[in-house]
Amino acid sequence: MAAPAEEVEAAVVRASGEPLDSFVRRLAQAKAAAIVATGATGVVLACDTLAELEGDPLGKPLDRTDARRMLMALSGREHRVVSGVCLWQRPGGEPVLAHAESVLEMDRLTDEFLDWYLDSGLWRGKAGACGFQDERLPLRLVAGSPSNVVGLPLELIRAMIANLDRLP
């Protein structure tokens, strides 16, 4: 059985100064390696998506107060979402790594909207305390793929799969 994603993420630590794209590729490879270690064959796909605001990671909020802090930090600003992808053909293949990046901008949040959103609970379990797919959230895609923002960059994966037969 593969290690749960949380265990893999806890085992892979972001090095000081490491770019987010490098880190999420390493996370994706570690997840894929955990699956490969079980003896899995075929094509293994692993992905990890993280967000950051001006270089600071946006994890999942601990509680409502933490969610409010994150949402206020995002209010009226841009942030980025980066997904690392590992595609690994087994047996015999080598891991293929890539990443996708999207930029989002959030409108300024009013106190009334913030209270409603926090009361809704939609922030629970979401990096940055918000989800691109959340109804009424004033969050716009500025650049990149919407599928990347929700955690699986389909365009990137399609291109990687198309190149699988060209790999040694």
Q: How far apart are CA 79 and CA 139, in angstroms?
A: 10
- Closest by Cα among 151, 160, 154, 164 to 24: 151
Classify 104 as helix, strand or coil: strand
State the catalytic residue, choosing from 48, 56, 63, 107: 48
Q: Is 48 a catalytic residue?
A: yes
CA-CA-CA-CA torsion sign (32, 34, 38, 39): positive
Token readout for 4 is 């749960």
Q: Which residues are catalytic?
A: 48
